[in-house]
């Protein structure tokens, strides 16, 4: 099941944006060394994909 496609991935910006999916939160990329938007070269090291629960999640 495809959850999201073609999303613009920016630092600390929610990726899914779809409450109706019932995820109870959203995925965000976090820059561990600053506030840059993620790039391919740093994925998994500098830029970490993280799940952030909502208050009601």
Render pLDDT for 8-50 as a digit per residue (tens, 0 to 9): 899 999 988 777 778 888 889 999 999 999 999 999 999 999 9
pLDDT value at 57 more than 70? no
7 lies in some domain: yes
Q: What contacts 24, CB < 8 A, 6 or more positions away? A: 53, 54, 56, 57
Domain count, the chain: 1
Give yes or no for a contact between 27 and 16, defined as CB atoms under 8 angstroms apart: yes
The helix (H) or strand (E) run that includes residue 51 is strand 47-53
56 lies in some domain: no
Nearest to 30 by CA among 45, 49, 2: 49
Domain that holds residue 11: 1-45
50 lies in some domain: no
29 lies in some domain: yes
32 lies in some domain: yes
N- to C-terminal Cα distance for the chain? 21
């Amino acid at each position: 099941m495809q959850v999201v496609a073609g999303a613009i991935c920016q630092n600390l910006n929610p990726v899914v944006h779809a409450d109706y999916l019932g995820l109870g939160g959203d995925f965000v990329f976090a820059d561990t060394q600053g506030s840059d938007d993620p790039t391919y070269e740093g994925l998994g090291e500098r830029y970490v994909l993280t799940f952030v629960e909502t208050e009601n999640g």
